[in-house]
Structure 1
Amino acid sequence: MNTEKMKINGGIITDKLAETRAFYMDQLGFQVTFDSDWFCLLHCPGNPKSEVAFLTPHHPSQGELFQKPFKGDGVFFTIEVDNVDEVYAKIRAKGVNIALDIRDEEWGDRHFAVTDPNGIGIDFVTHNPRS
């Protein structure tokens, strides 16, 4: 297996496709890689290779494995940023509910978290490893 050519994209099956698309684009600045009425693939601002997909449940084009909607527990995303304080200020200014206020961790990271319309935790972090 040639791991140098691997790429991973996460995907969430959701009844809230429109709300999810709007949240990631309007509140977090994600951009469209591909979009339809039943599926959207979005990428991080400035990084078209860092993507997440959202799919409506029970779509006839999908096999049984991709039919059931996400139940809202046990999933999180981490988004690494150069300046978490700047991102925090921008997201707060947009009125996004902050689920975990900005803080420093003993291992050196500085981060905060929000939740998307599906209940997925999104952790914004700047890694500052301690020596």
Structure 2
Amino acid sequence: MNTRELSPCFVTKDVDACRDFYQRHFSATAIFDCGWYLNMRIGGDGSSIQFMQPQDGMVEYGAEGVMLNFRVDDVDAEYARLVSEGVALAMPLEDHPWGDRGFSIIDPIGTALYIYSDREPSDEFRQYYTS
């Protein structure tokens, strides 16, 4: 398989809340929006996320057990920006020995968003990197 893009789709009744959250805090832009189905581009690298209201007897599913990871250039700047915008933290900003510095927040449907920048891993974790 030659995958050209991979993006999550969450089935939720809260499409409007998700649209507002990702536009406001991540400058996401709608590339398809018919009201009950929303596809949003995040950043300039082709990343996207979709939200769909349940159709024809579908059940809602999505956020439980899911964490979306956002690798950014400057995690400290993103942390300061999101905190100043009033976004509640699920995990504080901290350095991790496996090779990143990050924090997490929760979106309107309960999806954990882990925002991080790469750091040099500790000797303990360096051995697990394959490239």
8 A contact 1:28–1:91 mirrored in 2: no
Q: 1:72, 1:122 → 2: CA distance?
A: 10
Correspondences of 1:44-55 after superposition (within 5 Å):
44-47=42-45, 49-55=46-52
Helix, strand or coil: the match of 2:10?
Answer: strand
Q: Percent identity?
A: 26
The residue type equivalent to 1:98 in the other structure is: L
Local SS of the residue matching 2:99 = coil
CA distances 1:73-112 after superposition (whole Å, capped 9, x unpaired): 1111001101000111111111011111100001220001
Q: Which moved more, 1:77-86 or 1:20-29?
A: 20-29
What is the root-mean-square deviation in Å for CA atoms of aligned residues?
1.6
Of residues 34, 37, 40, the one that matches 1:39 is 37
Amino acid at match of 2:101: R
Give the residue type in structure 1 aligned to 2:114. Answer: D
**Within the alignment, does 1:126 sit opposite 2:117 as a pair?**
yes
Quick check: 1:105 aligned with 2:103?
Answer: no
Shift of 1:71: 6.0
CA displacement 1:49-68 (0-9 Å, x = unmatched): 1001000012x5xxx7xx22
SS in 1 for 2:78: helix
Consecutive aligned runs of 4 or more in structure 1 exceeding 2 Å deviation: none
- Tell me the equivalent position of 1:70: 61
Q: Provide the aligned length of Structure 1 versus Structure 2.
A: 122
Q: Which runs of 5+ in 2 are unaligned?
A: 127-131
| 1:78 maps to amino acid | N
Unpaired runs of 5+ residues, structure 1, are none
- Cα distance in 2 between the residues matched to 1:112 and 1:44: 19
Instruction: In structure 2, give the amino acid aligned to 1:94.
Output: E
Given the alignment, which residue of 20, 23, 40 partners 1:22?
Answer: 20
